Copies of this chain bind each other. A is one copy, B any other.
């Protein structure tokens, strides 16, 4: 394996195209101060939570409605200039980097909840609405939107990356929870996919083609989502285990028995220590599972008892229960702060995050060997997982002044992905392909399937202006 010596070497897809002065002038004339070419604004829109760097976009347009997005895309189509939709910048895979230059469309001002249909358990939002904002705005309906990727990402961004996170084990991912979309296509046309009906057999499933397309097929400008009644009862618990294996075996059994657990998150002992330091939580320094149960009071009690029994068989102990919202928030602090706690544990570090997901019975096989490899490498890391779905993340904490650490981390990631694929899994459970997993995509799904994806991309975006260089290094 030849060692890449800098992050730039990992980005063969960097070859910015020219953005004609005439286009910038046209955008400035149309959008005035809502089209910015200030370096600080462009730089802010040219990066995300990934560890990659690329030159920033040539301009940022702050769109306020779908028609404006369509105008920008039409202009981009005319000048054959890339457009990159931007939400809050929480992508982990370089989705927002202007690797082929172009214009960033900031959708943050399109942040209206457009229609709450509480009686139908649906809501329609603009793409810049964040998940926390959404839950705040629908609070009085007694409903909630369960998908929680950790970051307070926008619904547009979550749709574009087919996000999931905690809660997906019970409520599914964006794949299952987006009912309908409005999309600006590569020609600047506005189309609608899907309806508010819960199911449909009306032609090709364009909704799910767009969900997870990472901005490469169109700009998502409106999203209709499923909502769920707030559970009558919620109970959360932390349980410590003598080993990761014990925690994982407990999870596997819970899933195989069909217990409708709402969240089951693994936090390894490294991460527990980091979180204890960061947030002074005083958690027992052992691998732990964070669990949540939703249902009727009787149902929650039943689930909790079953899980406790299973956990005990695997040596799980020290169950700490939380039934009030305040207590639950405290427990979830451990999970929600894990990323920042880890980053702070090694000041100045860059994070490479893995994202494999395997069939539940193979979770222990996949995870334990990878932990052994990571431990042997000497690279500091954190490890958290949506283990109920077979999905987990190593975050390798890299010193950017030590390029050999990146080489080691990439090697660990390659080994992990190869292992996950050999076990029937995927290289990415929820972060997307972006810039970093293109080769893995080919290995995972085969050249034929990737060629089918590219054929669709070429047909729907003949000038390759929609977030080019992501998913495929065209």
Contacts and interface: CB of A to CB of B under 8 A. Distances in A.
A175 B217 CA distance: 21
Interface stretch (A10-18, A126-134, A354-362): A354-362
B192 A445 contact: yes
A317 to B, nearest CB: 25
Contacts of A389: 198-199
A455 interface: yes
A425 interface: yes
A189 interface: yes
Interface in A205-252: 205-206, 208-209, 211-213, 217, 228-229, 231, 252
Contacts of A440: 202
Interface stretch (A102-110, A323-331, A431-439): A431-439
A258 B294 CA distance: 12
Contacts of A121: 255-256, 258, 360
A465 interface: no
Contacts of A426: 195, 197, 199-202
Nearest to A303: B296
Nearest to A169: B198
A190 B448 contact: yes
A1 interface: no
Interface string A83-97: 000000000000000
A299 to B, nearest CB: 6
A185 B448 CA distance: 9
A430 B193 contact: no
Given A201-B429, A202-B444, 17 more contacts: A119-B360, A120-B360, A120-B424, A162-B201, A168-B199, A185-B452, A191-B448, A192-B446, A193-B449, A201-B355, A201-B428, A203-B441, A206-B449, A206-B453, A228-B258, A229-B257, A455-B459
A202 B206 CA distance: 17
Nearest to A446: B192
A390 interface: yes
A114 interface: no
Nearest to A191: B448
A164 interface: yes
Interface residues of A, number: 92
A358 B197 CA distance: 5
Given A204-B453, A256-B119, A296-B302, A429 B228 contact: no
Contact of A203 (B192, B200, B257, B445): B445
12 contacts: A119-B256, A122-B359, A175-B199, A191-B445, A195-B421, A197-B426, A199-B357, A201-B428, A202-B444, A203-B450, A204-B453, A205-B209
A458 B80 CA distance: 23
A121 B471 CA distance: 30
A192 B443 CA distance: 12
Contacts of A298: 298-299, 302
B208 A205 contact: yes
Interface in A140-187: 161-164, 168, 172-173, 175-176, 185
A327 to B, nearest CB: 24
Given A203-B433, A459-B455, A460-B455, A359 B185 contact: no
Nearest to A450: B203
A192 B426 CA distance: 13
Nearest to A357: B197
A463 interface: no
Nearest to A173: B199
A445 B194 CA distance: 7
A432 to B, nearest CB: 4
